[in-house]
């Protein structure tokens, strides 16, 4: 039976997943809730929901947002890593089952932890991946990012920001934007 177990972002299992995941994240900032993916107490991976991205092509239009006032009501699927055990998944369409259950469970947990009702979800998929699992789960493709990344360093910024922002344009990695309304 599928069970999503709440874990800390420092859980050794998720840290190992992050090392081998294609994006190799160094951690999660902002709001986030992490889950271990278990089937009959066997670990298959981890999935994490976090703060919505500030500027995202197509997302605000999809959710009829004039400004970013509802960002706390949108969860970004910031990490999803799942691996076969003994070269197989426990059931057919396992990855879709996990994603659908994640949306349901995190909606309740997000409300309890942060006090914000969830109106929807977003996810960024790095090319050349196509976001097939999101398509199969009824998510909608709404755009592609420009691929810029922003990094904060110590020091006084040119505006009222509490640090200098460095924009990395050397390694452009555009990402597909998928969204889904919370039902």
Q: What is the pLDDT of residues 109-140, one digit of tens each?
A: 999 999 999 999 999 999 999 999 999 999 99
- 179 neighbors 142 (Cβ within 8 angstroms): yes
CATH architecture assigned to 2-181: 3-Layer(aba) Sandwich (3.40)
Q: How far apart are CA 65 and CA 156, in angstroms?
A: 32
Q: How far apart are the first and last CA of the chain?
A: 23
Tell me what the pLDDT averaged over the chain comes to.
90
Three-state SS sequence of the chain: CEEEEEECCCCHHHHHHHHHCCCCCCCCCCCEEEEEEEECCEEEEEEEEEECCCCCCCHHHHCCCCCCCCHHHEEEEEEEEECCECCECCCCCHHHHHHHHHHHHHHHHHHHHHCCCCCEEEEEEECCCCCHHHHHCCCEEEEECCCCEEEEECCCCCCCCCCEEEEECCCCCCEEEEEEECC
Q: Could you give the percent of the chain with pLDDT greater than 70?
A: 87
**68 CB-near residues (< 8 Å, 6+ apart):** 54, 60
For residue range 141-175, list pLDDT tens digits in order: 999 998 766 555 555 555 555 555 555 555 678 99
pLDDT for the residue numbered 148: 65
User: What global pTM score does this model have?
Assistant: 0.88
pLDDT for the residue numbered 146: 87
What are the domain boundaries of the chain? 2-181
- 179 neighbors 120 (Cβ within 8 angstroms): yes
Virtual torsion, Cα 121, 118, 72, 23, nearest 10 deg: -30
């Amino acid at each position: 039976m599928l069970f999503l177990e709440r874990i800390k972002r420092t859980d050794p299992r998720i840290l190992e997943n992050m090392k081998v995941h294609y994006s190799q994240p160094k951690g999660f900032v902002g709001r986030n809730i992490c889950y271990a993916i278990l089937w009959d107490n066997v670990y298959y991976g981890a999935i994490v929901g976090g703060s919505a991205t500030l500027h995202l092509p197509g997302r605000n239009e999809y959710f009829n947002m004039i400004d970013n006032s509802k960002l706390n009501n949108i969860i970004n699927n910031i990490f999803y890593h799942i691996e076969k055990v003994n070269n197989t998944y426990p059931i057919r369409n396992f990855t879709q089952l996990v994603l659908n259950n994640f949306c349901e469970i995190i909606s309740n947990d997000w409300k309890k932890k942060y006090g914000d009702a969830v109106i929807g979800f977003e996810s960024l998929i790095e090319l050349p991946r196509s976001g097939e699992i999101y398509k199969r789960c009824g998510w909608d493709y709404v755009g592609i990012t420009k691929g810029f990344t922003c990094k904060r360093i110590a020091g006084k910024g040119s505006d009222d920001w509490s640090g200098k922002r460095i924009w990395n344009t050397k390694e452009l990695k555009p990402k597909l934007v998928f969204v889904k309304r919370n039902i």
